[in-house]
Amino acid sequence: MSDEQRKRLDGLIQFLHGAAPLSRGGIEVWFGDSHPDRAGAFWWRTELREAWQAAEADCDRIKRERDELREALQRITDTPLDSNSWYRIRLEACIAEAHNALTRIQEAEDE
């Protein structure tokens, strides 16, 4: 999740808790108040829907990147190499880097 998305979602959560106004386009509206430019009592649902869709898109991107890294790692580990070669040593370092990247992606998914 980007910093901008996280900030937007945090602001929306604060708004829903009544702890802060929702600010968009220079207009600040508190939860329960009528919006000056939008009709209906539940105008904020659009904001909630957009935040949810952005988070879903971000999760989909993270999953694709994770799957691509896993596939690349699998292709690398299936390659037979002489146990003493410089290439094998370098390959093991790349595998460790890929593993660390997968771990970071998994942690981001768990947030």
Residue 73 φ/ψ, nearest 5 degrees:
-65, -40
DSSP annotation of 35: P
Name the domain count of the chain: 1
- Residues 86 and 106: their CA atoms lie apart, in Å, by 30
Q: Considering only residues 37 and 93, tell me which one the structure prediction assigns the higher pLDDT.
A: 37
- pLDDT, residue 20, reads 92
- Residues 109 and 62: their CA atoms lie apart, in Å, by 7
Which domain, by its residues, includes 64? 3-110
Residue 90 φ/ψ, nearest 5 degrees:
-65, -40
Residues 93-106 have a mean pLDDT of 80
Those residues whose C-beta lies under 8 Å from the C-beta of residue 4, and which sit 6 or more positions away, are none
Tell me: pLDDT of 9 over 70.
yes
Task: Dump pLDDT digits (tens) for 30-48.
Answer: 998 888 888 888 888 888 8
Residue 28 three-state SS: strand
